Amino acid sequence: MLILGSTVIGARDIPRATRFWCAALGLTAGEPKAGGGFTNLFDAKGKLQLSIQNSSQPAEHTPRLHLDLYAPDAAGQKAEVARLLSLGAQTVDWDYPEGADFVVLADTEDNRFCVVDNTGAPDGFRLDFPDID
């Protein structure tokens, strides 16, 4: 039996990438491992959510594997994109299909990820968001 342990993002500057992803997702960094070449990021309950690993390779322009981060609606998506840009994310020149429900950004290491408007996501892709007061 296998279980998924973590999604790992490559970075040349692990401390910078760690700061970005912790601020972006409200995570906390654990102690660096492997001589500082690997850092795990945890949620408020201590569950492993993401890992940052040293990489000497540049990020792919059109990666086959990437993160989709969901916002509850179009207004939330716009606000989250602005917040992520203020944290150091970058806009990416992307060929969007008509009616796209996502915005492609790059993190501080140029790794691509998407911010998705949950209400615009096709059937079968929408997530259940908790009520937030």
Mean pLDDT of the chain: 93
Place 132 in a pLDDT band, splitting at 50, 70 and 90: low
**CATH number of the structural domain spanning residue 39:** 3.30.720.120
Taking alpha carbons only, the member of 57, 47, 50 closest to residue 18 is: 50
With tokens 């429900």, the residue in question is 101
Q: Above 90 in pLDDT, residue 75?
A: yes
**CATH number of the structural domain spanning residue 75:** 3.30.720
Specify whether 73 is located in the same domain as 105.
yes
Q: Would 45 be classed as within a structural domain?
A: yes
Range of the domain at 104: 67-120
Residue by residue, DSSP assigns 24-82 as HHT-EE---BGGGTEEEEE-TTS-EEEEEEE--SPPPSS-SS-EEEEESSHHHHHHHHH
Q: What is the pLDDT of residues 76-129, one digit of tens each?
A: 999 999 999 999 999 999 999 999 999 999 999 999 999 999 998 888 888 888
State whether residue 32 is helix, strand or coil: coil
28: its two tokens:
């906390």
* CB of 23 closer than 8 Å to CB of 17: no
Specify whether 82 is located in the same domain as 112.
yes
How many residues would you count in the chain? 133
Question: How many domains, the chain?
Answer: 2
User: Is the CA virtual torsion 7, 84, 13, 96 positive or negative?
Assistant: positive
Q: Would 133 be classed as within a structural domain?
A: no
Q: Above 90 in pLDDT, residue 54?
A: yes
Specify whether 75 is located in the same domain as 47.
no
Specify whether 49 is located in the same domain as 15.
yes
Comparing 36 with 28, the larger pLDDT belongs to: 28
State whether residue 86 is helix, strand or coil: helix
Q: Above 80 in pLDDT, residue 133?
A: no
Beta bridge partners, 112, equal: 106
pTM exceeds 0.95 for this model: no
Specify whether 116 is located in the same domain as 76.
yes
